[in-house]
Amino acid sequence: MKDLTITTVIKVYQLHELDQADQELLLAAKEATKRSYAPYSHFSVGAAALLGNGVVVTGTNQENAAYPSGLCAERTTLFYANSQHPDQPVVTLAIAARTERDFIEVPIPPCGACRQVILETEKRYKQPIRILLYGKEAIYEVNSICDLLPLSFDASAME
Ligand code: THU
């Protein structure tokens, strides 16, 4: 028997330590939370995707009375980006979330299903997606979803 050790390094920033482009992308994600449809959880999530051509696409969580029919902000954003700009890779994805009171203190990472969709987007465009997670206390950065989804399943497993 031997151990397989997987290590993830998450960079933790204060907002002012990020360059202007990253700060603007995070601001776009925060602004997007205002367009969330979250009458059930009252938890509003916004995402902003910077595409290879410089276009920024935003999206939000969209809930439904039949709960599983709703969709997270990350997938709404990526599916919209890939639908509108199918030839453009996603370079950076910024995510912000708030309760009815305020933005969360500590960043929330994407749910499992969203991680899988982010992975598919990386594979599709053959380039990693930088992910910025906003929290009032700190901003987390990873350079690829592989850092949040180790031992992942993708099409290569079926070859
Ligand atoms: N949600 C997201 O939009 N992204 C996540 O990564 C986690 C959860 C949404 C789904 C649902 O509308 C609400 O947050 C509460 O789970």
The DSSP secondary structure of 3-63, one letter per residue, reads --------EEE-GGGS-HHHHHHHHHHHHHGGG-B-TTT--EEEEEEEETTS-EEEEE-B-
pLDDT score recorded for residue 150: 94
CATH number for position 69: 3.40.140.10
Specify the residue for token string 């992308």. 25
Catalytic residue, from 31, 63, 74, 105: name it.
74
Is 74 annotated as catalytic? yes
pLDDT score recorded for residue 100: 97
Which regions of the chain are under pLDDT 70?
A: none
The reply to whether 151 falls in a domain is: no
The reply to whether 154 falls in a domain is: no
- Number of domains observed in the structure of the chain: 1
The reply to whether 24 falls in a domain is: yes
pLDDT score recorded for residue 120: 98
- Whether the CB of 114 sits within 6 Å of ligand 1: yes
What is the domain extent for residue 78? 20-137
CA–CA gap between residue 27 and residue 90 (Å, rounded): 17
- Whether the CB of 117 sits within 6 Å of ligand 1: no
The reply to whether 133 falls in a domain is: yes
The reply to whether 43 falls in a domain is: yes
